[in-house]
Amino acid sequence: MSFFNPENLEKAQVLIGLYPDKRSALIPLCHLAQGQHGHLSNEAMEQIADLLEIQPAEVLGTASFYDMLHTEEVGKYLVGVCTNVACMLGGGIELLEHASDVLGVPLGGTTEDGMFTLEEVECVAHCDKAPCAQVNYRFFGPLANGDFDQLLDDLRNDRLSESVPPHGVLSRVFRDAPAMVPLEIIHRERRAMDDEKKARQAALNKDAGGNQ
């Protein structure tokens, strides 16, 4: 049984082909799996392991290192409130408390309707809009409590579905470039470049030597 649907399996093969070592595709494949399924299921990790010819434990070990890869189910919208210094100075901790209150879930919790999961995040490089929040890695700020409530309302009523896809969908743009340049060509070119460079250096040295 394939976890990836045919379209994504094809994308997976393209991704794997981008690297000299296929394990490099691990994180891109995890994102791809989350894009298909909303989170990183065991079935997904097992297939990724198969594709990369490693053990599922290695996929889990790597995936679990990264905050964005969720091996547990999360809501359609993963709401992250930043409380790092710049946002904290702008009231980020208080915004997070407010978020927890209005969503009715603790940190890491998912609303009963499966719409929202709340998390506290570290700086998301949106500090000029502090306090800020991200929803599925799309950024909003600065957010007063009322702005946050409005944001939830917009999300609930699909008013932001254009800019905020469901959780797991990260980049909606995939590589459509032609096939990779064969490495043999690159290696041949680089050898030639290096040889020419050496020849130029030798010539320079010779000139320098002649002048002395």
Query: Which residues within the stretch 128-167 sit at the binding site for other proteins (CB under 8 A)?
Result: 128, 130, 134, 136-139
Residues 52-71 that bind other proteins (CB under 8 A): 52, 54-69
Cβ closer to other proteins: 153 or 196?
196
The answer to whether residue 170 forms part of the interface with other proteins (CB under 8 A) is yes
4 three-state secondary structure:
coil
Cβ closer to other proteins: 111 or 168?
168
For residues 87 and 131, is the Cβ–Cβ distance under 8 A? yes
Strand partners, 134: 80, 139
Cβ closer to other proteins: 69 or 143?
69
What whole-number distance in Å separates Cα of residue 198 and Cα of residue 200? 5
Largest CA distance in the chain: 84
Cβ closer to other proteins: 113 or 162?
162
The span of 4-12, 50-58, 103-111, 144-152 binding other proteins (CB under 8 A) equals: 50-58
Which position has the token pair 């309707």?
113
What whole-number distance in Å separates Cα of residue 32 and Cα of residue 169? 8
Q: CB-side exposure of 137: number of CA atoms within 13 Å?
A: 13
The answer to whether residue 174 forms part of the interface with other proteins (CB under 8 A) is yes
The span of 4-12, 13-21, 104-112, 145-153 binding other proteins (CB under 8 A) equals: 13-21
